[in-house]
Structure 1
Amino acid sequence: MNKNEKLVLDWIDHNKSELFNATKLIWDYAEPPLQEEQSSKLLVDILKKEGFKIEMGLAGMPTAFVATWGSEKPVIGILGEYDALPGLSQKTVGKKEPVEENGYGHGCGHNLLGVAGVGAVVAAKKAMETSNLKGTIKFYGCPAEETMIGKVFMVRDQVFKDTDVCLTWHPGAHNSLWGSSTLAMNSVKFTFYGKSSHAATNPESGRSALKAVQLMETGVQYLREHIIDAAKIHSTITHGGDEPNVVPEKAQIWYYIRAPYRKDVEEIYERVLNVAKGANLMTDTEHEVDLITGCYHMLPNKVLGQVLFNSLKKVGPPAFDTKDKKFAEELVDSFKPGTREMVVRLTGAPGELVDTNLHDSILEPFDEGRILQGSTDVADVSWNIPTAQFNTACVPTGTPVHTWQFTASVGSGIGQKGMLVAAKTLGLSIIELMQNHYLVDLAKEELDKEILNAGPYESPLHNVTSSPIS
């Protein structure tokens, strides 16, 4: 390990209490997407104090920011997130016990995600200053990942255009490279408008917007038989009327359309639009379409992935203590039988991982070529800038994401120790790229070849001119 790498690790170890405190504060704030005022301010204040130049309000989002230090090439970007999820408020205990009933909670660990990146960029800056190492570091504060909004709008508005490569991570249940792709997606709302009337005395005068929604959902249900097996269409009726004796004049349904490739999403989306038109004809109603966001599938960069994995091996796994292991056992005991095995199987990870509650080693990459059955707006960055990511163990093996158990674990010492490994891994990787510019060039060459084969990126929001907050 060279001098710069040692400086990174020493700084993070010396300042881990401040980093732990930041993760706990953001966990407590548990702010909704696009409303992460306290969380973003906390990270901005740390970075500003350490000499980073701050730009706020990127891409029309008040809680999106970039913090920059340095002035020369290469430009290394670190992605951070800090939004929470509805209905996942939870205390750090081994049974379901919300802090606030139906409140927001960090069921995906984003209280850890941004803090690790901040720790990494500050530590790398300290090392670069000491060694007079040239280059530029950017930390991107990205809101609203859970709704697939933040980075998609940031990409649309070319926020990342001057960055050479991007690195990030995600809290998980094992310590390894994230080598799989993800599903492309559209998030779209259909609002139907009819005519109200008394449902008993003169229903013939009414035109039910709710019936239009119901017929649309029936049509989509039949459509599912005739789309590719790997595609998924999820829905929820967000408004269906107010009282049974009033024919609803307004109703709304919200869809997520997912598929392995962007072109598949676009084809299915067009068919869903036609289903909505059919529902109009059958009910004599009208409708509006609100495409909220969309994203691509992930292009993991192998060059950068190797850099991250080499750094992860140097850092080693989290050093869990007796208290962590006891809490992990309590959380595992709360799972229904077979849950852990199912979660591990779906990730493609080795089945023997379920033999231990907390992953305490470094797992060789195992998921290259697989498609994770979820979506992320990191994918849109990866189509424009070489990007790679990894996981560290922040929850017990087999913990499903977006659950109260995940929230509890990432608010505990388990999550904090996993975050520390992530901060060190990112910090070492920044130094590696600053010291070896040829790796940046190779990463760019790899992405150029990917895009040549896959076709150019066109923002899913190319017809959306508004900001995400309007």
Structure 2
Amino acid sequence: MKRIILLCCALTMTIGATAQKMTTTKKTVIAAVENHKDALIKISDSIWALAETAFNESQSARILADYAEKNGLTVTRGVADIPTAFTATYGSGSPVISILGEYDALPGISQKASPEKEPLQEGAAGHGCGHNLFGAASLGAAIAIKELMETGKIKGTVKFLGTPAEEKYFAKVWMVKAGLWDDVDVNISWHPSSGIEADVQSGLSLIDFIVEFHGQAAHASGDPWNGRSASDALELYTTGINYYREHILPSSRIHYHIQDGGQVVNVVPDYAKLWVRVRDPKRKVMLPTYERVKAMAEGAAIMANVTHEISLVSGIYETLVNRTGGEIMQKNLELLGPITYTAEEDAFGKAIQKATGKPEVGMDSKIYPLKETKEIPGGGSTDVGDVSWNVPNINLGVTVAPKDTPWHSWAVVACGGMSIGHKGMVYASKAMAMTMVDLFENKKLVQKVTEEFKTRKGDEVYEPMIEGPPPIGQN
């Protein structure tokens, strides 16, 4: 009897797996991505070589926007008062499906497309999060949908959003505030990863702020009693933060970066500055911690007999998961199947793993099943979270680097500039285009995704955590 039950279960699973079929429209968008593959790789490689950082992505944004325009999308540049942000749209009416594209790099991790650490340009930036692939893949999917719309087989509007400065300032928050998703029914996003899966995990909310201390300069030996040290306040403050870590929830995080602790050893510093970040999987938990950490700055200033000021940089929400959307994406991943790697690519992956001290298991090409959504996730943060609290968001992760590769590192930069990254980019483009086909063809799916979004959001009122205009040109 037990064997019969197991056999029935296996048969049911097989039927479920084969029920989803590759339709003509999905074959069409896959073919469209293939037709644009060489151009998308060229775009990705150009952005990879430029490696422009937050709000400095002028050439990267232009390359993407120009290709969108060349392929018949209507481009609006400099949206939300951000010179490197843009939209590219095609079609009319509903549903309106948007897709995100990022293209900013990280400072200091320049790297050649080599499995050994070797900067392309010493001290320069590099795409250690694969954003050169991110923007190109998403644009490829948007163009594939546009070309399908031209045949009359689907109707609605596709909207590509070029979103800069994800790594530092979180430009999407200003873009959300500017209303760029107000007309959107569902948003699609992806992120480079070391595995393939429909992503149904949240991220961490966070808030960034600057603390500055102002004191009185004096000779550090001749008359230090005449000085009031801003760096003393800074040290007292960071010591307080480090003691406070013991008394916050294990899921919370506090980081800081000292940006100015004084210039020379023989002067009592009259100025000190640090960047502070507070995170937690839940914004409602993060905010009280933020208030406490701000209050500690005042205490440090009092002890050092200096003044202080605090200025908000920006803050972002945790990602609001949509499992209904994840299930749609998952079926399309299973239709596409795993990525196939050459022996040379697998050897490259193993060399990356060896260089970074990881098990040399090579590339991970499996399609992972849809996971349970964790209540308290680990990992990092993204301003996609702010989008997800304003419109239903479907997210995807695709392999662009070998298993266990340290993210935000030279190793990811290396893979993003060669065929391993290229294959992941093209795969992501196809998967997202296929998922958009489902949404355009079936309004009931859009309704189900929207219903879950409304249920999960509840009565939460979104409030962007920014003050003033985007910090363009700030260091």
TM-score by length of 1: 0.93
C-alpha separation in 1, matches of 2:223 and 2:64? 59
Alignment check: 8 A CA contact 2:171 2:470 kept: no
Aligned CA RMSD, in angstroms, stands at 1.4
Alignment check: 8 A CA contact 1:212 1:283 kept: yes
Equivalent position to 1:447, from 440, 443, 453: 453
Q: Deviations over 1:359-382 (max 9, x none)?
A: 222111225225132111111111
Describe the SS at the equivalent of 1:395. coil
Report the counterpart of residue 15 of structure 2 in structure 1. none
Q: 2:455 corresponds to which letter in structure 1?
A: K
Report the counterpart of residue 406 of structure 1 in structure 2. 412
Superposed displacement of residue 55, structure 1: 1.4
Report the counterpart of residue 347 of structure 1 in structure 2. none
Alignment check: 8 A CA contact 2:327 2:370 kept: no
Equivalent position to 2:264, from 229, 235, 243: 243
Report the counterpart of residue 360 of structure 1 in structure 2. 365
Unaligned runs of 5+ in 2: 1-21
C-alpha separation in 2, matches of 1:113 and 1:467? 22
Report the counterpart of residue 89 of structure 1 in structure 2. 110
Describe the SS at the equivalent of 2:213. strand
Alignment check: 8 A CA contact 1:239 1:251 kept: yes
Q: 2:449 corresponds to which letter in structure 1?
A: A
Report the counterpart of residue 221 of structure 1 in structure 2. 242
Q: 1:64 corresponds to which letter in structure 2?
A: A
Q: Deviations over 1:129-150 (max 9, x none)?
A: 1134210000010001111511
* Paired residues, number: 451
Report the counterpart of residue 344 of structure 1 in structure 2. none
**Which range moves more in the overlay, 314-323 or 67-76?**
314-323
C-alpha separation in 2, matches of 1:391 and 1:373? 13
Equivalent position to 2:337, from 312, 316, 319: 316
Q: 1:366 corresponds to which letter in structure 2?
A: K
Describe the SS at the equivalent of 1:54. strand
Q: Deviations over 1:113-141 (max 9, x none)?
A: 01000100101111121134210000010
Equivalent position to 2:129, from 78, 88, 108: 108
Q: 1:368 corresponds to which letter in structure 2?
A: T
Q: Deviations over 1:30-83 (max 9, x none)?
A: 001110011110100110011111112122211011111111100000011000
Equivalent position to 2:227, from 191, 199, 206: 206
C-alpha separation in 1, matches of 2:117 and 2:169? 27
Unaligned runs of 5+ in 1: 341-353
C-alpha separation in 2, matches of 1:465 and 1:84? 24
> Structure 1 residue runs of 4+, over 4 Å off?
none
Report the counterpart of residue 426 of structure 1 in structure 2. 432
Superposed displacement of residue 203, structure 1: 1.2
Report the counterpart of residue 289 of structure 2 in structure 1. 268
Superposed displacement of residue 211, structure 1: 0.7
- Note if 1:9 corresponds to 2:30: yes
Report the counterpart of residue 61 of structure 1 in structure 2. 82
Alignment check: 8 A CA contact 2:91 2:149 kept: no
Q: 1:467 corresponds to which letter in structure 2?
A: P
C-alpha separation in 2, matches of 1:36 and 1:300? 29
Describe the SS at the equivalent of 1:131. coil
Report the counterpart of residue 175 of structure 1 in structure 2. 196
TM-score by length of 2: 0.92
Report the counterpart of residue 76 of structure 1 in structure 2. 97
C-alpha separation in 2, matches of 1:313 and 1:148? 35
Alignment check: 8 A CA contact 1:293 1:460 kept: yes
C-alpha separation in 2, matches of 1:186 and 1:452? 23
C-alpha separation in 2, matches of 1:262 and 1:148? 18
Q: 1:267 corresponds to which letter in structure 2?
A: P
Alignment check: 8 A CA contact 1:149 1:468 kept: no
Q: Deviations over 1:9-44 (max 9, x none)?
A: 111112211111111111001001110011110100
- 1:283–1:256 CA distance, 2 compared to 1 (3 A): same
Superposed displacement of residue 413, structure 1: 0.3
Alignment check: 8 A CA contact 2:347 2:362 kept: no
Instruction: Give 1:280-299 correspondences, 5 Å limit.
Output: 280-299=301-320
Report the counterpart of residue 335 of structure 1 in structure 2. 356
C-alpha separation in 2, matches of 1:424 and 1:301? 20
C-alpha separation in 2, matches of 1:9 and 1:227? 48
C-alpha separation in 2, matches of 1:79 and 1:421? 16
Report the counterpart of residue 392 of structure 1 in structure 2. 398
Q: Report the identity percentage.
A: 39
**Which range moves more in the overlay, 155-164 or 419-428?**
155-164
Report the counterpart of residue 466 of structure 1 in structure 2. 469
